[in-house]
């Protein structure tokens, strides 16, 4: 199954914020949107980072409450690992495991078209395995 299928099923909504936002604003957005990561965009709409719950916790642990006034740009993951719509779920799961990330912005021609989490991909992978098992069981019982 392709990432395009996952995006089509879950929707292409991506929650973003500017690098100039504060960590407090980012924390509120994470809570309000009930997501684990936000894509950080520059003034031109280009992806410049990903800010996750893990980044927030790390900064608060380092600096305490004053970290909430820091800009997201100082705490986000700058090396953005992305996916493309025509990649397979297995390719992306392998990349996420190798790079130890839980969210992949999906880009096409440098445009942000969606985001997938490891949970999204595992959910779809399990659905495929269950469908294969059901088909195998139906085949066996038909014999």
The pLDDT of residue 56 is: 97
Number of independent structural domains in the chain: 1
pLDDT at 143 over 80: no
Least Cα distance to 37 among 90, 124, 112 occurs for 112
Residue predicted with more confidence, 111 or 51: 51
Instruction: State which residues form the domain around 45.
Output: 3-142
Q: Using one digit for the tens of pLDDT, what is the confidence trace for 90-140?
A: 999 999 999 999 999 999 987 899 999 999 999 988 888 888 888 888 888
**pTM score of the predicted model:** 0.85
Is residue 48 within 8 Å of residue 78, measured between CB atoms? Answer: yes
From the list 97, 83, 89, the residue with the least C-alpha distance to 126 is 89
Can you give the CATH number for the domain in which 41 is found? 3.10.580.10
């Amino acid at each position: 199954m392709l990432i395009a299928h996952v995006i089509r099923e879950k929707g292409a909504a991506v929650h973003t914020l500017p690098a100039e936002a504060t960590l407090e604003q980012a924390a509120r957005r994470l809570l309000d949107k009930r997501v684990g990561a936000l894509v950080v965009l520059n003034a031109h709409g280009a992806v410049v980072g990903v800010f996750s719950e893990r980044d927030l916790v790390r900064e608060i642990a380092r600096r305490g409450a004053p970290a909430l006034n820091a800009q997201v740009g100082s705490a986000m993951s700058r090396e953005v690992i992305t996916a493309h719509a025509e990649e397979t779920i297995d390719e992306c799961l392998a990349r996420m495991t190798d790079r130890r990330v839980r969210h992949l912005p999906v880009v096409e021609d440098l445009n942000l078209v969606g985001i997938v989490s490891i949970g999204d991909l595992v959910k779809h992978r399990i659905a495929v395995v269950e469908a294969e098992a059901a088909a195998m069981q139906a085949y066996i019982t038909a014999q």
